[in-house]
């Protein structure tokens, strides 16, 4: 598959909604879905000339380049902290208000930043891996695999005296 499925748009009734099969996010345009999917696959197309960091979209690169310019024109009126973008300032202000608008789609938890919510949501998507040699269980495959290797390593260095 191309990583997307489509169905009639519930907003306008005519177009299609495009869904990311990896996280469930919905987009009104297929090109927006494709840009989004690059974030999952790690495909990077644009590079910062200053530091070499790579980005999936030109707008993300432009936003990043503000860091190198040193310009931070967005000031917090409560504590005086300054930020390169209005979005960073808006996110920061939640420290003062306690607002947590990013709700987990699987449980009752809420987060002030969408990135933290996304990290949390992965815990719901990952399986529960139980070791068949002991009573330990793990939420993600990499931790489980590392644990399984420890059983093999312990057998390799067994003392026969």
Shared-domain flag, residues 146 and 102: no
Residue 72 has which token pair?
Answer: 């931070």
Kindly report, residue by residue over 94-150, the tens digit of the pLDDT.
999 999 999 998 899 999 988 899 888 877 776 677 788 887 877 777 777 788 878
Residue 43 to residue 112: CA distance in whole angstroms: 27
Dist. CA 140–CA 128, nearest whole Å: 7
Mean pLDDT of the chain: 78
CATH classification at residue 96: 3.30.160.60
Domain membership flag for residue 133: yes
Q: Which pLDDT belongs to residue 78?
A: 92
Closest CA to 112 of 129, 124, 94: 94
Same domain, 114 and 141: no
Q: Does a structural domain hold residue 54?
A: no
Q: What is the spatial distance between Cα 50 and Cα 63, in angstroms, rounded to a whole number?
A: 13
Residues 97 and 141 in one domain: no
Query: Would you say the pTM of this structure is higher than 0.75?
Result: no
* Domain assignment present for 117: yes
**Residues 99 and 143 both lie in one domain:** no
Number of compact structural domains in the chain:
3
Query: Residue 60 domain-assigned?
Result: no
Give residue 54's pLDDT band: very low, low, confident or very high (50, 70, 90): confident
- Does a structural domain hold residue 61? no
Rounded to an integer, what distance in angstroms lies between the CA atom of residue 50 and that of residue 65? Answer: 8
Structural domain harbouring 20: 4-45
β-sheet bridge partners, residue 57: none
- Same domain as 148, residue 103: no
């Amino acid at each position: 598959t191309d990583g997307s499925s489509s169905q009639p748009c519930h907003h306008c009734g005519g177009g299609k909604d495009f869904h990311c099969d990896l996280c469930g996010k919905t987009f009104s345009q297929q090109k927006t879905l494709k840009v989004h999917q690059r974030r999952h696959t790690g495909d990077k197309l644009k590079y910062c000339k200053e530091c070499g960091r790579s980005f999936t979209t030109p707008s993300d690169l432009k936003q990043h380049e503000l860091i190198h310019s040193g310009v931070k024109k967005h000031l917090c009126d409560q504590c005086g902290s300054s930020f390169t973008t209005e979005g960073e300032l808006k996110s920061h202000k939640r420290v003062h208000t306690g607002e947590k608008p990013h709700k987990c789609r699987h449980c009752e938890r809420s987060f002030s930043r969408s990135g933290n919510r996304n990290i949390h949501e992965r815990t719901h998507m990952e399986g529960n891996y139980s070791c068949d040699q002991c009573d330990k269980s793990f939420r993600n495959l990499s931790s489980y695999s590392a644990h399984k290797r420890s059983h093999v390593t312990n057998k390799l260095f067994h003392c026969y005296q």
